[in-house]
Amino acid sequence: MSWLLLVVISVVATSVANLYQKIAMREEKSDAVASAIAFQILTGLCYAIFALIKGFHVPQMWLAPYFLGTMVLYAAGTVCFFRAIKQIEASEMSIITGAGAIVTIVASMIFLKDVLSVTQLIGAACILTAVVLINLKKKSVVMNQGVWLALLGSALYGSAVIFDTIIIHAFDAASFIPIGSLGTALVIMIWYPKKIPIVVRTLRRVDKNLLIFSVLYAAAAITFYLAVETGALVGKVSSISRSAIILTVLLSTILLKERDNIDKKILGAILTTIGVILVSS
């Protein structure tokens, strides 16, 4: 299978997964924290199957602090995202999460000694403009709790990428992702032990929408990894994958009827896509 087809599958899977996350969480009875744990367990199991097929390896002990760091950041970020999606639209979430790229670049400057270019500054400005644009209500910016949670989740995920980078440079990515996901679920359960019975009920009755979201999310990550493994340039694969932001906005408009301020959302999605590509360049 060509790398381009793998990236297209990843983009479509990501976009459709975003819709199912919103569908799963818009029910009043849905529990954000329990769903976050179940999501990490389900994706972790999908990743584990992939790792066993590819060949699973045990990480070296010196990587343990980095594994712990990334698990804690992803745990907090996942909870933020699941709480945010109960309050904002899938299209908004997709645009706002682009801000995570800015945090990654800033963190890489501090910890990995990367140099920030003018192009990346322009990209950061595009992303920030998009976030302000979609929250602009009658000439004033209105940021509700859901928006702030999405921004915090993006910042946490963006910071976790620094740990991921260190780990993947020294360890097999296919073996890393199941450990990371299942470890993240464990961290959340340690933080919220009272949610464990709800998680058990959620997994036992198999929430269809949450299951579809988890499987599609895992499929998107795996096909992205396979595309890079086939020899495609990481930058090229990453750039194309950003089109998932625009596709999510379009699909949420058609399928979820998220049609309020559609002009701002489309413009915001385009700005965010351009911004993330520039920031990642």
Could you tell me which residues come within 8 angstroms of residue 195 by beta carbon, excluding any fewer than 6 positions away?
A: 31, 33, 34, 37, 188, 189
Could you tell me the mean pLDDT of each successive run of 10 residues in the chain, 281 residues long? Answer: 86 94 86 95 96 92 95 97 92 85 76 73 85 69 80 90 86 92 97 93 85 95 85 68 88 89 88 84 67
What pTM value is reported for the model? Answer: 0.88
* Cα–Cα distance, 30 to 143 (Å, whole number): 23
Quick one: which of 43, 60, 57 has its CA closest to 183?
43
Q: What is the pLDDT of residues 169-201, one digit of tens each?
A: 888 889 999 999 999 999 999 999 999 999 998
* Cα–Cα distance, 29 to 201 (Å, whole number): 13
CB-count burial class (<10 Å; 0-12, 13-18, 19+) for 153: buried
Q: What is the pLDDT of residues 250-269, one digit of tens each?
A: 999 999 988 888 888 899 89
* Cα–Cα distance, 175 to 1 (Å, whole number): 22
CA 120 to chain centre: 20
Quick one: which of 83, 79, 82, 42 has its CA closest to 190?
79
pLDDT at 120: 78
Could you tell me which residues come within 8 angstroms of residue 134 by beta carbon, excluding any fewer than 6 positions away?
A: 92, 95, 96, 261, 264, 265, 268
Burial 187-205 (b: 16+ CB within 10 A, else e): bbbeebeebeebbeebbee
pLDDT at 230: 78
Q: Which residue has the tokens 């004033």?
A: 140
